[in-house]
Every structure is written in C-alpha cells, then in structure tokens.
Amino acid sequence: MAEQAVSTPTVAPPQSDQVVACVAYAGGKRLGTVEIDDISEILKFEGQFIWIGLYEPGEELLRKIKEEFGLHELAIEDAHTAHQRPKVEEYGDSLFVVLRTARLLEKKIEFGETHLFVGKRYIVTVRHGASSPYTAVRIRCESSPQHLRMGPGFVLYAVMDYVVDQYFPVIGELEEILEEIEEVVFAGTFGRDTTERIYDLKRQLVDLKRAVSPLVDVCNRLIRFDLGLIPAEAQPYLRDVYDHAVRINESVDLLREMLSSALEAHLSLVGVNQNEVTKKLASWAAIIAVPTMVAGIYGMNFEHMPELRWQYGYLVALGVMAGACGMLYAWFRRSGWL
Amino acid sequence: MAEQAVSTPTVAPPQSDQVVACVAYAGGKRLGTVEIDDISEILKFEGQFIWIGLYEPGEELLRKIKEEFGLHELAIEDAHTAHQRPKVEEYGDSLFVVLRTARLLEKKIEFGETHLFVGKRYIVTVRHGASSPYTAVRIRCESSPQHLRMGPGFVLYAVMDYVVDQYFPVIGELEEILEEIEEVVFAGTFGRDTTERIYDLKRQLVDLKRAVSPLVDVCNRLIRFDLGLIPAEAQPYLRDVYDHAVRINESVDLLREMLSSALEAHLSLVGVNQNEVTKKLASWAAIIAVPTMVAGIYGMNFEHMPELRWQYGYLVALGVMAGACGMLYAWFRRSGWL
Amino acid sequence: MAEQAVSTPTVAPPQSDQVVACVAYAGGKRLGTVEIDDISEILKFEGQFIWIGLYEPGEELLRKIKEEFGLHELAIEDAHTAHQRPKVEEYGDSLFVVLRTARLLEKKIEFGETHLFVGKRYIVTVRHGASSPYTAVRIRCESSPQHLRMGPGFVLYAVMDYVVDQYFPVIGELEEILEEIEEVVFAGTFGRDTTERIYDLKRQLVDLKRAVSPLVDVCNRLIRFDLGLIPAEAQPYLRDVYDHAVRINESVDLLREMLSSALEAHLSLVGVNQNEVTKKLASWAAIIAVPTMVAGIYGMNFEHMPELRWQYGYLVALGVMAGACGMLYAWFRRSGWL
Amino acid sequence: MAEQAVSTPTVAPPQSDQVVACVAYAGGKRLGTVEIDDISEILKFEGQFIWIGLYEPGEELLRKIKEEFGLHELAIEDAHTAHQRPKVEEYGDSLFVVLRTARLLEKKIEFGETHLFVGKRYIVTVRHGASSPYTAVRIRCESSPQHLRMGPGFVLYAVMDYVVDQYFPVIGELEEILEEIEEVVFAGTFGRDTTERIYDLKRQLVDLKRAVSPLVDVCNRLIRFDLGLIPAEAQPYLRDVYDHAVRINESVDLLREMLSSALEAHLSLVGVNQNEVTKKLASWAAIIAVPTMVAGIYGMNFEHMPELRWQYGYLVALGVMAGACGMLYAWFRRSGWL
Amino acid sequence: MAEQAVSTPTVAPPQSDQVVACVAYAGGKRLGTVEIDDISEILKFEGQFIWIGLYEPGEELLRKIKEEFGLHELAIEDAHTAHQRPKVEEYGDSLFVVLRTARLLEKKIEFGETHLFVGKRYIVTVRHGASSPYTAVRIRCESSPQHLRMGPGFVLYAVMDYVVDQYFPVIGELEEILEEIEEVVFAGTFGRDTTERIYDLKRQLVDLKRAVSPLVDVCNRLIRFDLGLIPAEAQPYLRDVYDHAVRINESVDLLREMLSSALEAHLSLVGVNQNEVTKKLASWAAIIAVPTMVAGIYGMNFEHMPELRWQYGYLVALGVMAGACGMLYAWFRRSGWL
C-alpha cells in the first residue's frame, strides 16, 4: 500500500508525513510494511531487519528514529540540515553515510543528498533535494532474496550502486557538451559565447568533481571497515561500486583536462585568426594605398608635368594603378596573406 | 558581573586589565566568576575546572597564568607575540592550540588569532586582533550541562566550532565577489579594474587558504590525539568541526579554481574582442579608402580625361563611390566583420 | 585444429561460438585441445592446468565457465559487459585481471580489453574489441616448457608481457606525430590545423594515459600479491613487465609534456609573427603615406606657390618623394622592421 | 680575548688562522677559551663540553678536529668544500648538520653555509661565505645557564634559531619588492623592465625556496631523531625552530604564488591596453579619414560640380567635415573607444 | 696489459672482444688481470673478488658470465639490449643496477647506460653507448686499499659516484645555455629562434630529468637495502652519492622552472613590444594624416576659398601642417607612445 504510493509519487502523497516506506525483512524476504511506531516490536525478533525510507524528514520524525535506534545527535543534525559533503562515519556500532546524488533535468545537473544510517538490524535512507526515490532499488533487492539475506549491508550496497550509476548519464551529457564546444572552437567562429560555454562547463565539472571525488573515498573506506555490519560476501559488491566511482571520477578528470585543452586551442586559434586578419588588413591597405598615391601625384598642380599633356596619360596612369594593384594582389596571394 | 561587561564590550571595559572572563565550573554547572589570584583555591577541588578568557594579555598576566598552570615558556611567548600559524602542540599533559579567526568588516576580511591552553582542569583562551569575544560560546556551553560535564575538552570543541563557523559568511562574501567578477567579465567591458579585482580576490583567497588549510590539520590531529584530555564522547564533536573545516577548505579551493578560470575567460575574451576590433577597424578603413581613391583619380590633372567633361560625370562618380561603400558594407556585414 | 583456426582468424571462424582455444597442459607440456564440456575430467588430475581463450563470449558460455571454475558473478558480469578500467581483484583463491590492449590500425590507436581469470589449475583469457589473438603467446609458452611448468602464473605473465609490448609501437607512432607537429610549428606556417593536430594528439595521449597508468598499478599489485598463484620464480618476470609498463607510462608523460611545450612554442611564435606582421604593416604604411602627403601639398590650389612654377619643380617633388621612401625603407630595414 | 676579536671582527683578525672561538662550558657556565691543542685535556672531565667556531677552515685544521672528535671523513670533506644542500646526517653517535644562511646586503640576498658537528661533549660550527658570526648566539646562550645546561643540543637549537630568524628580514624585503612590482603593474606603464623585475624576483624566490625548503625537513628530522644528543627538554625548542621554518617556507610559497598572479595580471593588462590602443587608433583614423575623403571629393576636377560654384560651398564643406568629425568623436566617446 | 689498452682506448682495441678489464682483488689489493675463463679458479679462494669491465658485450660473452656467476636470464637480457630505465633489482643474493650516464660532446648531451651485477665475490660493469671507460675509477679504487677492502660494495659506490659526478658539467652547460637565452629574451630582439632555443633546452631538460630522477630512487633504495652486499661502513659513501644525485635533480628542476619563467617573460615581452609597435604605428599615422587632410582641404576646387588667394596662404598652410605635426609629435612623446 505504502509501496503503491511510492511507485506513483506524483499522484499520491507519501504514507505519513515524510515516510516514503518502512518495510520489515527476514531471511531475505519481505515481511510487509510497518508503522514507524511498531518498529520496536519488529526489532525484538532475531534475524529481522527494517528498511525505512524518508524524504526531507521533519525534526520530530528524526527524533523518534534517533530514539528508536539510538543514533548520535550530530548525525541526526546532519541528516536534518543536509549540505554535507560525502563521508562515512562510525558512531558506536552504527554507520552514518552521506552521499551526493546527481540527476539530469532538461540537460542541467541537479544535485541531491542521501544520508544512510546503517545498523545490524536496520537501515534508514534519508533523501534530500533533487533525487529519485529508491523504489527501484527496493524492488531489485526484494527480487533476489539470496542477496538480501546478507542484511542491511547489502541494502547499503544496492543504494550506493544506484546512486553511483546515476552519474553515468550525467557524464554522458557533459561529454556531449564538450563535443559541441570542440566543434564550435574548431569551426573558427570566435563568438564570445564560446568562452562562456567553456566557463559554464568548467563550473559544472568543478561541482561534479566535488560530489564524486569524496565518493571514491567513501567507497574505499567502506571496503576497509571491519565492523561486522558489512558481511564478507558483500565486500566484492562494494568493490564493484568503488570501481564505478573511480571510473566516474576519472571521466570527470578527463573532461576537465580536455576542456582546458579546448580552451587552450581556442586561445591559440584566436591568436592565429588575429594574425590572419592583420595580414588581410595590411594587404588591402597596401592595395588601395598605391593607386591613391599615384592619383595624388598626378593631382599635383606643377606647371611642368609633361605626362599631364600626353594624349593617353590618363589611361596609362589608370593602367599603372590597376597593374600595381594586380601585382600586389598576386604577391599577397602567393605569400598566403590573402 | 564580568559577564555583563563582556556582553556589551563596546561600553564597559573588561574586568581587570585584559581578563575578559574567569569562570569556574563543576559537574557541567557554572560555579561563578573567580579572581585570577584565587585560581589555585578552585583547582584544589576534584571535578572542577576553570575557563579563563583573555584578550591581548600583557606579559605579567601571562606569567602569572604560566606559573599557576605550569605552562611552557615557549607557548607563553607565542601567546604573547601572536602571528603564529594554526597548530596544535603537546607540552607534557597540556595542549597548546593556535587558531586563526576570520571576520567580515564592511566586506573586508579581518584576521585574528586565538590561542588555547587546555589542561585536565583548565582552559585558557587568548584572543588577538580582530575577533569576536567568546561570550556566545560560554552561554551556549552553560546551557547544556550534559555536554559541559565532559570538561575542558568540550569547551575546546565549542570554541573551535565557533571559530570555524565564522568562516562560512566569509566564504559567502567571497562567492558574491566572484559572481560580480564573472558578471563584469562576461559583460564584455574590459576595464583595467577587472584585472585588479581578480588580483585582489586572489590575494584574499591566498590569505584565507593560509588560515584555513592548517586548520584542517589541527582538527585532524586533535581527533587522533590520545591524551586523556579529550574524552571519547567528545570525539564525534571534533570530527564534526573537522568536517566543517574540510568543507571551508574545499570552498576556498573551488573559489581559487573558478577565479583562475574567470581570469582565463577574461584573457580569452580580451583576445576575441581584439579580434573583433581589428576586424571593425579593417572594414571601416576599407569602406573609407575606396571613395578616397576614386576621388583621388578624378582629382588628377590630366588634360585628356573624358569623364571630367561628361554632364553627369560628377554624379556618376558619387554614385560609384556610394555603391562601392555600400557593397563593401554589405559584404563585411555578411562575413561578420561588422 | 582449433589452433589452425586461430592462426588464420580472417578465413576460418573460431572452433565453437566464441571459444578460440581450450588447451590442457601438464608438466610444462601441451596435452592437446579439449572440449569445454570435458574440462572437469581434466581438472581431476593433479599437476594439469587448462588455458581457455575466448573472444567476446556470450552469456551462456560464461555461465558454463563460471560454474566449472567457481568464479564470482561480478567478475563474470564485468567480463561480459567489458568497459572496465585495468584492475586486479582477488575473489577467494582466484584472481581477476583486467587489461586494456592497444593496437595501431592505419595510424590510429584502437583500444581493446582483455580479462583474465587465473586459478591454481586454470587460466581463462577473454578478449574484447580490437585486440590481436594470443596465438603467438601460446606458441611462445609451449616452446619453453621449463617456464610453462610454473603453471597459470607464467601464462599470466606471458599475456601481460604481450599486451604491454604492443604499446611500444603505439608510442613510436605518437612520437612521430609529435615530430611532425614540431616541424610544422617551427616552419612558421600558422594554419589552423596545427592547433587541431595538437588537440587531436592530446586527446590520444589522454586516452593512452588512461589505459597505461592503471596498468602500472596492476603490475605492481601482482608483484606484491601473495596468493600462491604466482610462484616465486615468476616474480622477476612480472617485475620485468612492470618495468616495461613504467617505461611506457613515462613515455606518455614525456609526450604530454613535450606536446604542451610545443603548444606554448606555437602560441609564442604566433605572437612573434603578429609582431612582425604589424611592424611590416606599419613600415609600408609609412613608406606610402609620405609621398601621398607630399603630393597632397602640391595638389593645393594656392595662387602663390612658387615651386609649382619652377621648371623642375615636378622632378624635384618626385625626387623628394622617392628619396623619402628610400630613406624610410633603409631605416626600417636597419631596425629590422622589414 | 678571543671573544673580543670576534665582537669587533672588522678590526682584529680571528685568534688563530680560522678559529673564531673555542670555548669550554660546564654545568651551563663558561669556563673560558681554550687552545685547539688542549681540547683533549678538557674532554677528560665529565659534564664539560666544548664549542668551537670556525670560519672557512683550512684542510689541516679540519683534520686536527676530525682526529680529536673522531668525525667521518665524508663530513669533513663536505665541511671543507661547502656547496652542500641543507641536510642532517648521523655518523655513529655524532650528528652532521648543514644549513644555508641568508643575509641582506644592500637589498640583495647573499647566501652562506653553516656546517655543525654535534657530539655528546662538543659542537663545532663551520661558517662559509656570507654569514654573520655567531657571537650574538654565544652571548645569548651564556646569559641563560639553565638552558645551556642541556649541553650541545641546546647550542644546536640556538644556532638554528639564529639562522632561521635571519630569513625573516629577507622575506620582508622580497615582500616590499613584490609590492613595488604590483604598483608598477597596476599603474599601467608597461615598460619592459616590469617583466625583468618580475623575472629577477622569481629567480630570488627560487633560490630562497631551494635554501628554505630542505631546512623544514632538517628541523623535522631533528625533532624525530632519538640519539641521546638532543635532550627531551630541548625538543619544544626545536619544534619552535621548525615552526619558524615552516612559516618562512609558507611565505616563500605565498610570494611565488602572488608573483605569478602579478605576472598574469600584467599579461592581462597588456592585453587590455592593446585593446584600448587599437580602439583609439581606429577611432582617430576614422575621424581623420572622413574629412580627407570629403576634401578628396571636392578636389575632383569634374566640370559640372555645382557645389563648387556656390557662394558658401567652401564653408558648407568645412562645416560638413567638422560636423562629421564631431559626430564621430561623440560616438566613439560614448562607445568607450576614446 | 689490458689496463694499458684501456688507458689509451683510442689507439689499442680492448683485450678480447668486448672485455675491457678483468681484474682480481684480495684484501684491498690488486692481484692482477685474469682471463675470463680462469674466473672460477679465482673464486675458489675466500676473500678474493673479481671486477669485470665490459663494453657492449656480445650474447656469447654474457652467457659465459651468466653461467659463471649464476645471474638471472632477465638481467642478462636487459644488459644485452640496453635501453632500460635506471633501477635496482634483487635477484637472489645478487644485485642488478642500471644507471644512465651523461657526457658532454661539443655542447651536446650524450646519454649512455651502465649495468652493474654485484655479488659477494664479484662485480661486473657493462657499459653501453656514449660513456667514459671506468679506468679512472679503477685507479682511484686501487690507490686506497683501506676502502677497497670493503669489497664489491665499495666498487659499486665508486662507479656510481663517478657516474653521478659526470652530470655536474652537463648541468653547468645547460645553465650557460639558459643564461644565453635570458640575455636574448631581455635584449628584446624577438626572433623566432628564441622560441626554438627554449624548446630545445626544454627537450634536453626533459631527457635529463628522465635520466636523473630515477637515479635518486636507485641511490635511496641502495642505502635501504639490507643484503650483506653493502657493508655498513659503505653506507655513508652511498649516502654521499645520494646527496649528489638529489642536488643534480634539484638543479634540473630549478632549470626547468627558470626556463618556463623565461618563456613567460618572452611571451610577456612580445606582448609589451606589440603594444609599443602599435602605439608607434598609431602615432606616426596620426602625424602624417593631419597634414594630408589639410592639404586635401586646400586642394578642393571651390571657387570661393579666400585663403587660396592670400599672399602667404601657402606658407601659412605649410606652417599649420608643420605646427600640427610638431604638436602631435610632442604630445605622443609626452604620453610615451613615441
């Protein structure tokens, strides 16, 4: 029932204020949705665990959950205010994981946050800002009981895998933008907006880097942690997520490197173009200046200028001008200035 | 009473020369203000600790405190001269912590210093230069006795948290300055002061980096220290401060990166603009040079220039000139030079 | 028989769907090709091992191999989808190694992938994309039984050695391209395509770096691994591969450094050239402007201009013009502007 | 007596060839100067130590000292030839420390070297090149017997403190030079010597960095050394020197960073200036070209040019020219080109 | 006899094909040259060791040596093909060291390689390419038996010391080239070959860096190695070589940094020069354009131009032109444009 509400989030509002889902599992199988107030009942039975999904929860709800699972006040504060950087922290026998999520909306990256509280018998996911609900993750987990049997550690993996995999289309989009920039740069139309687009992409890459780079660290530390929370058979799965995070991180670095190369190429081409323009300017200036000078000479008012009285003086003068222009044109052409 | 003096620092002078406050605590509760000379009395009772707040103390006062708590002469010297870089040092069973504080005053960053001596039964805070008094911190501490019970270690956290959190508005201000610079850069008015503003922001960022970067280190070392001074339950709080310091540090790095990108964009746009200006210059030069040349030709004094005698020669000449100008104009327009 | 198919891969299709070869070895000697379904028979005998070579295998085939050797599902998934970054991972008592291969085809680099599953009694090589078959490796291994006796660890070395050595001609090709770019840059013909070629080479180097850099790491980790899979006497061989990988990595770094130096040189020469062009432009403008000015003066219509009536006024004027031009020309020549 | 010679080094020559001082201490008190040949006498008594100060000593003198204290031949060779980089080395139970000293002479940095041999019962300081004598250090040490009681380890600290503190005025001088450069850069007079001054400062910073950077390392290693040579109570003092070295190192880095920012600002301003100059050139070219063109038109010799016969044709023409110039001027002014 | 051949390598060919020397030592003293085939005889006696010097040895010779000393086939392969990067490797109880040697020949750097096999009782040096023979090293070793007594470990040091010291003149040469470049850059003659020389030096520095940087690593690892091959008393000597290698490495880095600063200065000066040229161009254009314009005005054919009829109209016009030119000239001069 709660599940239904989640699967069509745009129509039905979530169950109770910001609780998206609260489900109990045992032996890799779903027992059913639970009311938040009945959690302590469930936790009495060995081998069961609870997965609570929240979206931008209020203070009261978080306080209830804090008391239920004995979480640390600082972690709860973080989960309330959001705007944390990705990290993983131990509080006694529970883990607190912060992830940044990314989503494409109309070719723009939107960042969100997910906070996870993981204990032996529970996992709480808290979503903030622009982020897709984890219904798909829940369905995937429930469809493979042999994995879900590992407990909250596997759910942690499944959520992280989902979060990390959503970065791939973002990278793809940015790669496309880079390609467009490359095209514009090498097409040789040096509008001002080329620089602006490069700057915009740069900013997006810096933001992305800031989200992705600590993610690699989080994955790495989770692999190393030895808390009993993450069973040995879940390790290869976390290593897989780590691998994806490293690949995304590498892609961001590569994009940054190619972007700054593109900017360098842009600068270099602007310089080359300036060169060409100046050469063209100089060539045409010369081609026009020569006949002007000749005309100036025959415009002088000396009394004794024999050419002025020649029958064909004018034509010869015009011919000289045209000839000079033609020769200059040919010469500049050959030198590659025109 | 001393507290009152502190809460309105602009009207009443501090208690005795540079002692801002000297308060005794026991079991998380405030016992009351104490005279500096009565400290040894207080320290006799187990479970009590003293918090002394100083502002730019004189040599004599520091010597008194040195003897009272058995501090190291070098630490006292540092606390007197200030101009230290943020650090944490062990002297026997006491810690000496140096922090740089930052404050915004009329959109300018002002840096100050805070030195902390932390022992099992005392904490001494020494402020230098531009820095807000720690009255707010004291009030916050006293309002949560369950935390203050941890002793001087918690006060250390509270002061550090306060110091670190004051960097956030500074970062915010610099982000605004960067945005203004971005606007000016992309508006395309290439005044010299754009460069100057970029340089100014750069300098502020370098100063900020210098203050913040060792702060991360200080926090990190405090978490790792195992001295009995910082109780286990205070560790998560220090980790929280560490987190904030890392975030501020990251923001400074990000600002630096975007600033140098902005400078690159500026350089690139200046190049593009130079290109445009040269093209415009060349175009108009050509447009004016052609009629000048034509006029020069018909200004020649040859006797046999039939056009000169035509009825409409002049009008035709003007027409040719206007036509040539118009064609050139259209052509340059189409090529994007004008 | 299967071998024959491999040695002429363009004519005959591989044995059974994507199995290129499946050979059993014992005591450093080849026992003969085996059907995939008979593997378990072979593995019963102590001292024997199997080498299976696959090319872009289907899901079903991989599942069969997974079950036969007890491989991890994640490794199998990786081997199926490819697009992994070079890495080495332990799964229980088997290793999973991912390598990127490079090949030159018509002066273009083509990247492929090779995945290796190495166990005590088997090695499976899975090729993806553009990569040469490992027939040459197999022949080399079989021709030195004293080495092959080391088991799958030596085959792992042989494959890695082959993969790494194929990077050398790629480096050679890129070095040639860099030399061509250097020639073009210093020849002083500043076409736009110079920038484009630099950018292209940059992109290829970035891709290459991405393939080679983790390779060094993989080699290094294989040397350090202590699993019993790689016998002590195989260590020096792996160190040799590591050495080659480091050398290739260094060459890529060197190429990148020289390339960015070449770009800097290009920018610098464009600037110098711009300088020269502007100087030339200025010189010729002056040389033409002076006689034009003189002609203008004698074109004035004042009634009292004594020079106009002199017998040789015109000739003198022409002489002055020519003289001024000549002097300017000589002067610009001497100053290095022309 | 020897002391006197030292305190006025410009008048009296040092005691015996390059021995500046050779003093025996016991229990933190000065016993008096000693002849080099009597050292072995002194060393017989427990609790005494000797401090020998040398300036560019000859081979023979060094050999004598080598034999007296059993120093290593390589250290002696280094101390003779100088031109070492700052380092600290253990030879058996003695330390060999090399420091670079810096001194300002007429606004120029002069580098020197100091080599220290430290043993349980002796310290030998060897100065090379431009460096101040350590008389001041000796006086300071002798005036605090409670510290000097620590033995040669404290003298080592005192010398290092003196050496490190002499870098502060050097930093101050370079900061002033940077400020002058900043002023010149932003004043907008782009002489060639601005670049030359930036380059000069850069070179000085590189040299300084080379001297200071290993100094930090030397201090750090001395703190970590556990040789019995440096007593526990001397550690905080060495940490203090380390702190100063780190601060100097940071200042050098900051200067380097600001210098390259200044160069960037310079380049950017040259670009902006080029832009402005080109715009001015273009504007004035246009303003002069238009009346020239008009004049050219009315200089044509057509028979039928009605304007030429008008009474006020000339004045109207002049008016048109002046008007066009004025309008152009206003327009360029408004566009910010003039 | 073999020695003689070596000391005058240009006249007499080496002893037997590529064996330069094969000498036996015992107790720090030279026993005499030995035939390669008699080595095993010598090795029977405790306390003796053999030093074999080879130059580009053939495969057969290397095989003989491999069998005699039980070397690893991979090391032998490396020693045959050369083109290795500097490294040190352990093979059982022997060391294999690769060094790159550098030599100046007519102001050009020539690189060579030296491979060393070091065992308890032997050392084999294999030279490749451009490298000086080690006769000088041998003579130096033999002249200090107290050192040579340490065995092959000391010979290793002596060779490395010789190799490293030969880098110093190379560094000196490159420093001179840098100085020449600096002079050309600041002389302000911006020929294209300045850029080419900078690029050439850059390439040489990159090559040098590649040779020197791993050398530091090799020295460092040799100091750390604990194999019994290098006796404790040889450690300080290796540390000395390490120190020299670090200094050379630092010099290369410093050269690289100053070179890129020189390039930046070059670019900056080209920009400043462009500025100056444009200003000069603009100034002269204006100075010539104004009289041309005035002449144009008085060249108009209006009937009513009273000035034309004035007695001194022409002189006044000339005066106005000269005055305008003079004023413009003075004004441009004052503004620093001329």
- Residue B87 β-bridge partners: B98
pLDDT value at residue B175? 94
> For the sheet containing B122-129, what is the strand order?
B29-33, B19-26, B48-55, B122-129, B108-118, B94-105, B87-91
Q: So what's the pLDDT on residue C308?
A: 87
Is residue D5 scored above 50 in pLDDT?
no
Which residues in chain E are closer than 8 Å to C287, comparing Cβ atoms? none
pLDDT digits (tens, 9 = 90+) for B255-286: 999 999 999 999 889 888 888 888 888 888 88
Chain-chain contact of D298 with E300 (C-beta, under 8 angstroms): yes
Record the tokens describing residue B334, joined without a space. Answer: 């189409």
CB within 8 Å of B263: residues ≥ 6 apart: B198, D264, D268
A27 vs A79: CA distance, rounded Å: 29
How many CB contacts within 8 angstroms connect chain C with chain E?
124
Q: Which residue has the higher pLDDT, B106 or A4?
A: B106
D194: which chain E residues are within 8 Å (Cβ-Cβ)? 272
Determine the residue among B258, B275, B300, B321 to mutate to test chain A binding: the one whose Cβ has the most chain A Cβ atoms within 10 Å: B300
**Partners of chain B (3+ Cβ pairs below 8 A):** A, D
pLDDT 10s digits, B16-25: 457 888 999 9
State the CB neighbour count (10 A cutoff) for residue B216: 21
Q: Choosing among C93, C202, C212, C259, which should be mutated to test the A contact, i.e. which has the most A CBs within 10 A?
A: C202
CB pairs under 8 A between A and C: 124
**pLDDT tens, per residue, chain A with 338 residues:** 333 333 333 333 444 457 888 999 988 889 889 888 888 887 788 788 999 999 988 888 888 888 888 888 888 888 888 788 899 988 888 899 999 999 888 878 899 999 999 998 899 999 998 878 898 899 999 998 888 988 898 999 999 999 999 999 999 999 999 999 999 999 877 778 889 999 999 999 999 999 999 999 999 888 887 667 888 888 889 999 999 999 999 999 999 999 999 999 998 898 888 888 888 888 888 888 888 888 899 888 888 888 888 888 888 989 999 999 999 999 999 988 88
Token pair listed for C190: 């500043």
What is the per-residue pLDDT for C2?
A: 36
Closest by Cα among E272, E269, E256 to E185:
E269
Q: Quote the distance between the C-alpha of residue C53 and its chain's center.
A: 26
Predicted pLDDT of residue C226: 65
- Can you tell me the distance from the alpha carbon of C170 to that of A244, in angstroms, rounded to the nearest whole number? 28
In this structure, the dihedral spanned by the alpha carbons of residues D188, D193, D199 and D204, taken in order and rounded to 10 degrees, is -110
- pLDDT, tens digit, 9 for 90 and up, residues C197-237: 999 999 999 999 999 999 999 998 888 876 678 888 888 89
Q: Count CB-CB contacts under 10 A for residue C162.
A: 18
A-contacting chains (≥3 CB pairs under 8 Å): B, C
Q: How many CB pairs under 8 A join B and D?
A: 125
Q: Which residues contact B127 (CB under 8 A, 6 or more apart)?
A: B20, B53, B54, B55, B56, B101, B112, B113, B114, B133, B134
Share of chain C above pLDDT 90, in %: 39
> Which tokens go with D265?
């600002």
Cα–Cα dist C225/C217, whole Å: 12
CB C132 within 8 A of CB C103: yes
Name every chain D residue with its beta carbon within 8 A of the beta carbon of B87.
243
Residues in chain E with pLDDT < 70? 1-17, 226-227
pTM (predicted TM-score): 0.84
| Distance set, CA A268 to CA A225, B271, C263 (Å) | 49, 10, 8
Of D72, D92, D102, the residue nearest D248 (C-alpha): D102
Half-sphere exposure (CA, 13 Å, Cβ side) for B273? 24
Closest by CA position to E18, among listed E50, E62, E51, E48: E62
Cβ separation E292–D296 shorter than 8 A: no
Query: How many residues are recorded in chain C?
Result: 338
Q: Which residues of B touch A271 (CB under 8 A)?
A: 271
* DSSP 8-state symbol, D131: -
The CB density around residue A326, as the number of other CB atoms within 10 Å, is: 11
Nearest to D297 among B189, B270, B295 (CB): B295
What is the rounded CA–CA span in Å between residue D108 and residue D208? 12
Chain B residues lying within 8 Å of A286, measured CB to CB: none
CA distance D299 to chain B (A): 5
Token pair recorded at residue B317: 């000449």
Cα D196 to Cα E186: distance, rounded to the nearest angstrom: 7
Nearest to C304 among E72, E273, E313 (CB): E313
E253 CB-near residues (< 8 Å, 6+ apart) = E209
Buried/exposed code over E99-120 (b: 16+ C-beta within 10 A; e: otherwise): bbbbbeeeeebebbbbbbbbbe
Q: Please, what is the end-to-end C-alpha distance for chain A in angstroms?
A: 76
Report phi then psi at B113, rounded to 5.
Answer: -130, 145
Do D121 and D152 contact (CB within 8 A), yes or no? yes
Contact (CB<8Å) E263/C264: yes
Q: What is the Cα gyration radius of chain A?
A: 35
| Tens-place pLDDT, residues B20-42 | 889 999 888 898 898 888 888 87
**Average confidence score pLDDT of chain B:** 86
Q: Name residue D99's beta-bridge partners.
A: D114
Q: What is the mean pLDDT of chain A?
A: 86
What pLDDT shows up at residue B192? 80
Strand pairing partners for D288? Answer: none
Contacts of E292 in chain D (CB under 8 A): 292
Both tokens assigned to A97: 């994981």
Give first-to-last CA distance, chain E, whole Å: 76
User: Encoding tokens for residue E77?
Assistant: 């392969």
Helix and strand element counts for chain C (H, E): 12, 7
Which residues in chain E are contacts of C264 at CB distance < 8 A? Answer: 263
Nearest by Cα to A83 from A111, A53, A102, A125: A111
3-state secondary structure chain A: CHHHHHHCCCCCCCCECCEEEEEEEECCEEEEECCHHHHHHHHCCCCEEEEEEEECCCHHHHHHHHHHHCCCHHHHHHHHHCCCCCEEEEECCEEEEEEEEEEEECCEEEEEEEEEEECCCEEEEEEEECCCCCHHHHHHHHCCHHHHCCCHHHHHHHHHHHHHHCHHHHHHHHHHHHHHHHHHHHHCCCCHHHHHHHHHHHHHHHHHHHHHHHHHHHHHHHHHCCCCCCCHHHHHHHHHHHHHHHHHHHHHHHHHHHHHHHHHHHHHHHHHHHHHHHHHHHHHHHHHHHHHHHHHHHCCCCCCCHHHHCCCHHHHHHHHHHHHHHHHHHHHHHHCCC
Q: Directed axis angle between helix D235-298 and helix D167-187, to 10°?
A: 10
Could you give the CA distance from residue B36 to residue E307 in angstroms, rounded to a whole number?
Answer: 99
Angle between helices A235-298 and C73-81 (to 10 degrees): 20
Residue C130's region, left for phi above 0, alpha for psi from -120 to 50, else beta, is: beta
Q: What is the pLDDT of residue B53?
A: 92
